[in-house]
Amino acid sequence: MTKRGRFITLEGGEGVGKTTNLEYIRAFLQERGIDVITTREPGGVPVAEQLRALILGEKLVPEAELLLFFAARLHHLRELILPGLAQGKWVVSDRFTDASFAYQGGGRGVSWQRIRYLEDWLLAGTKPDLTLFLDAPVEIGLARVKARGESNRFEEETAAFMHNVRRAYRALWRQDPDRIKRIDASRPLPEVQLEISGYLKALVEAWRG
Ligand code: TYD
């Protein structure tokens, strides 16, 4: 029987370096002979990518925004993540449900209780095996986003919104430190990646048994 793969997510506020580190994680795992799928939220599969364009393009009522993120996530989970894991692949996603708790919960003020209800109902409790929370002061992230040029409507939110998102991520991490590893992403990239590699090594060793 094929051994189920592992599900890893990357989380954090704007400009913390998720994209660069996603590539690093993919290379790290592939070098160890692991079959890897990298993906992102919102998106990852055609329906969800269409929803992504809608969500990132339109200003939405917070609850509508939340529901669209979950609609995209449900397709992503059923069509890509779960089948990939069942085939023994490792799935690495740039964001997952923690982002809803942080952005729609912390940022927009939707209660966590309601988000948890959607998570339990729609995702049947699917949680990542490992979540790498890249954490950096809001000012650092915003400066990086600015330097990058193009931005989406979340990246154009106020600093107060970003502080609330960060606070929510830190609360999630404190609630579940076994799954969520907080990484200080204000440090130079090699230091960040050394820490990430430690968590990956442990997960690979445990998986190989
Ligand atoms: P992302 O692809 O991470 O944007 P970028 O790579 O430019 O940082 O995510 C797009 C935006 O969607 C991001 O600003 C955070 C937001 N988001 C939510 O608000 N809730 C969610 O559940 C998810 C998955 C993302």
Prediction pTM value: 0.96
50's enclosing H/E stretch is: helix 46-57
Q: What is the pLDDT of residues 144-197, one digit of tens each?
A: 998 988 888 998 899 999 999 999 999 999 999 999 999 999 999 999 999 999
DSSP letter at 103?
Answer: I
Distance 201 CA to ligand 1 centre (A): 27
Does residue 161's CB lie within 6 angstroms of at least one atom of ligand 1? no
Nearest CA, atom 17, ligand 1:
99
Distances (CA, A) of 208 to 138, 201, 205: 38, 11, 5
Give residue 71's pLDDT.
98
Percentage of residues in the chain with pLDDT exceeding 70?
Answer: 100
For residue 69, give the ligand 1 atom closest to its CA. Answer: 22
Structure tokens at 11: 């989380």
Please, which residues have CB within 8 angstroms of residue 180's CB and are 6 or more apart in sequence? 11, 98, 131, 133, 172, 173
Q: What is the pLDDT of residues 101-150, one digit of tens each?
A: 999 999 999 999 999 999 999 998 899 999 999 999 999 999 999 898 88
